[in-house]
Structures are given as C-alpha cells and as structure tokens.
Amino acid sequence: MPRPSRRAFAGSAVLVAVLAGCSSNDATDTTTGASDAGGTDGEISIDHAFGTTTIPAKPEVVTTVAWANHEVPLALDVAPAGMAAATFGDDDTDGLLPWVSEKLEELGAEIPVLFDESDGIDFEGVADTAPDVILAAYSGLTQEDYDTLSQIAPTVPFPEIAWGTSWRDMITTNATGMGMASEGEALIAELEGQIEEAVAAHPAIAGKNVMFLTHVDTTDLSEVSFYTAHDTRTMFFEDLGMTIAPSVVAASEETDEFSSTVSAEQADAFSDVEIIVTYGDESLLEALQADPLLSQMPAVQLGAVVNLPGDSPLGTAANPTPLAIPYILEDYLAELDRAASAGA
C-alpha cells in the first residue's frame, strides 16, 4: 500500500467558507445504522498522538480519511458519508476494493463520497460531507492535517505512531469514536477466531522468521528497504503464527518510522530471514537472485519470496483490515505456505 504524499492546503478561504456553511445539524444522514451506536449519554473522549478529542455520544454522520478507516464503520454496518478512494489493488479502478463494494451492497447503501488523496487529504471534500466525526486511527496525519480537520469536526487520528496502528487498535479507536466500543470488541473477537481457524490449516508457516521489503526498485538494488516492526504488515506476521525476524526487530529499535533502509552491503544482517514478502512479480525474484549481494540472503537463494501484485486486491492482503481479513486471508496464507516450502 503506498503512503499518501503531503500537500500544503491551498485555498484556505474556500475552506473557511465551506466550514461556515457546514453544520451536522443541517446535514442529511447518509449513514446506515449510526443511530444505533452503543454510546453512553455523555460525550466520548479519546486520547491520541495530538492530544484528546471529544465527540458527541452518538455521532450520526461518520466520515473517514486515509487508508482503510472506512472499513471499521462498514464492518459495524454503518456506511460512511465519505471515505478515501482506493488507489492500490483497485483492479477495476472504481475507487473501491471488492470487499468494500460487497459490504455496501449488503447494506443497500449508496457509494460514499470518494476522496482523491493521491496528493493529500481532501479537506474541502471532507467538509462537504458535514460529518459529526472524522475517523483516521490508521493514518499518517500531520499536526497541520489534524488541526484543519478538527475545524470541520471532531477528529480521531492515530493513537501513537503514524501508520503504526494495528488492525485491532484501528477497530477499537474508530469504533469508540462512533460510540460503538462494545461492537468493536465483538468484531475483533470474531476476526481473531477466523484468523486462528485459517492459520491452523497452514502449519508449514508456523514460527518462520519473516521480513517485508518495501516496493523494490530493480534498477537500483544498492539498498534494502523494509517495513519495520512498527508497521501493520510486519505486525500481522505474528497473528499468522510467524515471527518477525530478530534482525528486523533489532533494526526497528533504532527508529519510530514504519520503514527503514540499509545498504545492500549489510544484507547479511538479515541472514535469519526465512521468508520475504514484498510487492512485485517473478521478475523481481530473478533480479534479487542475480544481484551479488542480495542473492546471499537465504530466503532469496531458496526463492522463499512472496510477490504480492500491486494491481490486484491480493496486493493489499498483507495489510490487515476489518473487511479484507476474511476476504483475502486464505489467498495470502497460500502464498506464505508456498514460500515456506521453497527449497524443501
């Protein structure tokens, strides 16, 4: 999944005008089932990386920004008023991943307003949806982004680390922001059961040391870029009964970022890696095996590499989200199983 770039918000006068005319009391409720949110009579307070957000107990109009946050309300049978359009793994280019389309059809809901976030948050688009709450528990919002969104509606950003919110914490935080904390807990328990059942059918991957390379540029293999132990893709390995390679854990202790880079001359530091996951196709493995330095990594030598295609929904499989987990998990496990058996 690509990380969105940042842009300075130009046209602040336009945003001010939009904000002046934006009131959730006058908005049409475009959500489904939000009125059934299980909040208390009091307000909801959520602590996060930028402070504390206070939200009405039962927000009716829910809008989300950044990757996958919309899947939490959808999984809880609430259609958001607006959400980020999918730009990765969207094979039919309609801005919706298949599990999102399927859920919207199940709810009988119209497609929400889709924000183009290829160049940053669409603040005007968000304001136009007149939200009561903006969910962004899994995101890389800056302080400026948060401040601007908070002028539109109470905003729930990431708890601690940008792009470092686990799928469980994303559900917990966003569900709480909707006044549906207990429903969020039930959803987590349901997904944990599905994961446990699916993983049991793939004993070959149990305990394997894994690392996740970022998008590899085969024209320049002078560096090894990887997702750290702070990234959700890497954290998900442990849900699947595998182990984040100790070398990756050690490298992650030197940064709070979701990714890091070392020189290819240091590739031998990852000699404990038994499976590599990354984005690409068979030509990528060929390029790695032909490289004099990276080919020394045992996983590369054995071909124990999972190449996730970025142009199909399977490319998003490694990034766990509430609706994607049950939809794509078996396909992902099958790929990991194949890699675990490489060279056997």
Q: What is the pLDDT of residues 104-127, one digit of tens each?
A: 999 999 999 999 999 999 999 999
* Residue 210 covered by a domain: yes
Same domain, 49 and 112: yes
Whether 162 and 224 map to the same domain: the answer is no
* β pairing state of 305-308 and 259-263: unpaired
Same domain, 47 and 133: yes
Considering the domain architecture, whether residues 224 and 153 belong to the same structural domain is answered as no
User: Does a structural domain hold residue 5?
Assistant: no
Q: 230 and 166, same structural domain?
A: no
Q: Provide the 8-state DSSP code for 170.
A: H
Helix residue ranges per DSSP H, 218-323: 232-239, 246-252, 282-290, 298-302
- In a domain, residue 191? The reply is no
CATH number of the domain within which 222 lies: 3.40.50.1980
Cβ atoms of 274 and 299 within 8 Å: the answer is: yes
Instruction: For residue 180, give the nearest of 327, 81, 86, 75 by alpha carbon.
Output: 75
Q: Is residue 6 included in any domain, yes or no?
A: no
- 291 part of a folded domain: yes
The answer, yes or no, to whether residue 290 has pLDDT greater than 60, is yes
140 and 233 belong to one structural domain: no
State residue 81's pLDDT score. Answer: 98
Domain membership of residue 126 as a residue range: 12-180
Q: Which residue would you say has higher pLDDT here, 119 or 282?
A: 119
Residue 189 domain-assigned (yes or no): no
The residues that bridge with 64 in the sheet, in sequence order, are 135
- Among the three residues 149, 180, 211, which one is the final residue of a domain in this structure? 180
Instruction: Please give the Cα distance from 32 to 75 (Å, whole number).
Output: 11
CA atoms 170, 175, 178, 179: torsion sign: negative
- Tell me, yes or no, whether 46 and 175 share the same domain: yes
The answer to whether 291 touches 220, Cβ cutoff 8 Å, is no
Query: Does some domain include residue 244?
Result: yes
Region 231-246: mean pLDDT is: 97
Query: Where is the domain boundary, 121, 145, 180?
Result: 180
> For the residues 47-58, what does the mean pLDDT come to?
94
Q: Which band of pLDDT confidence, cut at 50, 70 and 90, is reported for residue 310?
A: confident
Number of residues written out for the chain: 344
Decide which of 4 and 308 is more confident. Answer: 308
Assess whether 213 and 155 both reside in one domain.
no
β partners of residue 278: 307
Would residue 118 count as lying in a domain? yes
Q: How many domains, the chain?
A: 2
50 shares its domain with 158: yes
Is the pLDDT assigned to residue 8 strictly greater than 60? no
> Same domain for 64 and 164?
yes
Confidence at 30, pLDDT banded by 50, 70, 90: very low
Tens of pLDDT, residues 333-342: 999 999 999 8
Q: Provide the mean pLDDT of the chain.
A: 88
- The answer on 104 and 27 residing in a single domain is yes
Whole-angstrom distance, CA of residue 304 vs CA of residue 149: 43
Structure confidence at residue 198 as a pLDDT band (50, 70, 90): very high
Backbone angles phi, psi at 38, to 5 degrees: -90, 45
Residue tagged 């890091």 (tokens): 260
Residue 137 gets which letter from DSSP? S
Answer yes or no: do 27 and 159 share one domain. Answer: yes
Three-class secondary structure of residue 40 per DSSP: coil
312 phi, psi to nearest 5 deg = -140, 160
Contact yes or no for 285/305 (Cβ under 8 A): yes
